[in-house]
Structure 1
């Protein structure tokens, strides 16, 4: 029988608190020194625990990083899903992009953790895909209303096939749009949501890494123009 929050034992509650404290310290280390600064033995010393004892909570640094990746995706998904998209179209697209950028630049250490591979050989947990799709989910209904220009044809064809061939992707699109995979608008929605991903990452990752320093533009202006270009491609009002 699975314990409910009300019936969890003192030992279970202590374990949850300790794991949360370990992750809080790891996030501070990440902010101070990047992934290389996350050290399990230093975390253990900070909370007054032996190294071997800490390994009862996280089997390795990669195990700890995997949970931080999932937590980061969950946090940005919550930010995105809290955005008011009732205006629809281009206005809502700008609002979602702004929210994504706002989360990333406020805590670049967490954004850069999920932007690529934190350390060589690191394998993100399978559930990472679900959390990443939760970030993109709110974009799907916006693009479902679009009318893609002819230049998007090759991409639309490929995503149409993906939608037909992958039941999990079809279920994800239908969850957010209400459209079954055979509806042409479902493929349009998928194409737009995936196309927006590199636009967001391209600008936000460069800004978070400080690559725009000394250049003659504001990152917010660049992102806004990129969003408008994408909206134009789908003829969003």
Structure 2
């Protein structure tokens, strides 16, 4: 009798289980010493396997890192996408990102922290990250264009957003000319700028928080995060 579609053989199930355990041990190693110290031989020893036996499941350290990065991005993209479909606005998506990062900081830092020396992610990883940016661009497009401007120079000031040559106008012209990162999303220059500002501010605060740079400074990082989101909405 032919094997039913979608039914894995015992060999395939075993292989899947071993690969899952290898990834679990890899995350433990990353938590202990960082991604740059990841060692397949150390994982094999921890699992009671020989190095050559483990290489039958992941052909190289980079292949394993790619799988971990792909899983991390997939988890974040699915989380952001589900909340966006449920109607979450841009600030709410900011809190979604922060909760995801705090629940598993090592996954967050693997994809948004210090790059692993000598490692280059394949293109399909970039495609998954594009799903996250598309959700942020959709949320950015839902905000009103007449949001009150943040306190700053008046209309007569050369640096005012209403004045020719202002930094905001110049950057929005630049970002419109270099919008490849947004894929085929029909966002306006203002929406592109807003989403990119959101992306950089959110990850700037989160990366500093998760790396411990706020320790001993005496303020609540959650309050700073909230203030950054509010500042973005005042633009």
Partner SS for 2:234: helix
TM-superposition CA deviations, 1:140-195 (whole Å, max 9, x none): 122213428635222221222234xx4x8442x2xxxxx4xxxxx54333322222
CA apart distance, 1:68: 0.7
Candidates 212, 215, 231, aligned match of 1:213: 215
Structure 1 match to 2:120: 123
Structure 2 match to 1:76: 76
Structure 1 match to 2:205: 203
Structure 1 match to 2:231: 229
Structure 1 match to 2:129: 132
TM-score normalised to structure 2 length: 0.80
CA apart distance, 1:123: 0.7
Partners of 1:14 and 1:21 in 2: how far apart? Answer: 11
Partners of 2:29 and 2:234 in 1: how far apart? Answer: 42
RMSD in angstroms over aligned alpha carbons?
A: 2.5
Structure 1 match to 2:145: 147
- Asked whether the 8 Å contact 2:41–2:51 carries over to 1, the reply is yes
Partners of 2:196 and 2:57 in 1: how far apart? Answer: 36
Q: Does 1:34 align with 2:50?
A: no
Structure 2 match to 1:67: 67
CA apart distance, 1:87: 6.0
Unaligned runs of 5+ in 1: 174-178, 180-184
TM-superposition CA deviations, 1:75-94 (whole Å, max 9, x none): 12222223267666xxx222
Partner SS for 1:75: helix
- Asked whether the 8 Å contact 1:40–1:51 carries over to 2, the reply is yes
Partner SS for 1:83: helix
Partners of 2:114 and 2:62 in 1: how far apart? Answer: 11
Unaligned runs of 5+ in 2: 150-160, 162-166
Partners of 1:31 and 1:196 in 2: how far apart? Answer: 28
Relative to its length, the structure with more helix (as a share) is 1
CA apart distance, 1:7: 4.0
Going from structure 1 to structure 2, the CA distance change for 1:56 and 1:214 (only over 3 Å counts) comes to: same
Structure 2 match to 1:176: none
Partners of 2:64 and 2:131 in 1: how far apart? Answer: 22
Partners of 2:4 and 2:55 in 1: how far apart? Answer: 26
Candidates 181, 194, 210, aligned match of 2:196: 194
- Asked whether the 8 Å contact 1:85–1:95 carries over to 2, the reply is no
**Larger gyration radius, structure 1 or structure 2:** 2
Partners of 1:38 and 1:226 in 2: how far apart? Answer: 34
